[in-house]
Amino acid sequence: MVKPHLDVRIRPARPRDFVVCARLCSGSLRDLIRRQGQRPPNFPVRDLLPFLRHALATDPDGFHVAVVKGRIVCYAITILRGKTHFLAQFFALPGMQSRGVGRQVLTRAFDAPRPPRGTARCVVASLDLRAQALYAKFGMLPRTILYHVEGKPRKSTANGVELRQLGPTGTSTKRARDLAARFDRPLREARRDVDQRHFLTTVKGSRFFDARAGRKTVGYVVIQGNGAIGPGGVLDPSLSAALMSAAIAKAHEIGMKAVSAWVPGLNEGALTAAFEAGLKIEFLTAWMAARDIIRLDSYLPSGGVLF
């Protein structure tokens, strides 16, 4: 049966679209998880709003919505940092999937920011096969698996890295941003002060830590107030296990009953340390990119929307 032609209008997002987009995101995620045979968790709309505000404030040209008969049916958000163009969110109403709307929105979200020559597209992709096929058409191919791990940690076993808090809790200081940039440039291929500020101020109780081996600073890590570890990283992959172990131990020390993290499959040290601490895999996603970018063997992402 041929589906009727849709009269679709693609336009930049506006602040009044936030709640609609958050509800669309929540409903789409629940539908996807249900189709995969799992019990869908709750995705409170209020928890999704801070990122939408951040995206429109920092990357307005990358945030677009598709409107059909006056109703938002799909939206996409891209985040451009240096020459890394990250697809942060892409959701459509279940009834609008596979009708060509998503391709139009993605095209606008990637093209409108006018990325510099040599920019690489990338995304943390769900295991939805239709979405992955579309991402491949946009030049993003599978590179590795991302594991979301979570749980009540046991005592840390790895040593070698000590964490020292920089700046007050919940505050992004210039010293912390400069330190993060020192490692983000080689690990993430970009300095991203606006995102570092977001990580520290969005969730109450978030902290920034300098990672030290002896007297030398070897990396950094953010521990958010909800127990989420990341972003963070070290330049030496042999210290990845120690960084993860130290972060888990520090989160427990400051009162987090449970911790979580997104760990690239290529970061063997962090993944091993997470399992040794008793964290369990909650779900899998795929890292897809136009080329091998980001030092995934020694980097801990913040999550699926800012990486």
Residue 216 dihedral angles phi and psi, to the nearest 5°: -100, 135
Mean pLDDT of 267-290: 95
Long-range Cβ contact pairs of 113-117 (< 8 A, separation 24 or more)? 113/59, 113/61, 113/62, 113/78, 113/80, 113/85, 114/61, 115/80, 115/83, 115/85, 116/83
The reported pLDDT for the residue numbered 2 is: 38
Query: Taking the domains of the chain in order of start, what are their residue ranges?
Result: 8-139, 149-300
Q: Is the peptide bond before 231 cis (omega within 30 degrees of 0)?
A: yes
What architecture does CATH give domain 8-139? 3-Layer(aba) Sandwich (3.40)
The reported pLDDT for the residue numbered 153 is: 85
Fold category of 149-300 in CATH = Aminopeptidase (3.40.630)
Q: Is the pLDDT of residue 206 over 90?
A: yes
Same fold, 8-139 and 149-300: yes
Interval 1-45: pLDDT, tens: 435 567 889 999 999 999 999 999 988 887 777 776 666 566 688
**271 close to 301: Cβ distance less than 8 angstroms:** no
Mean pLDDT of 208-221: 97
CA distance 135 to 289: 9
SS3 content of the chain, % helix, strand, coil (to 5): 35, 30, 35
**Whole-prediction pTM value?**
0.92
Token pair for 30: 């629940």
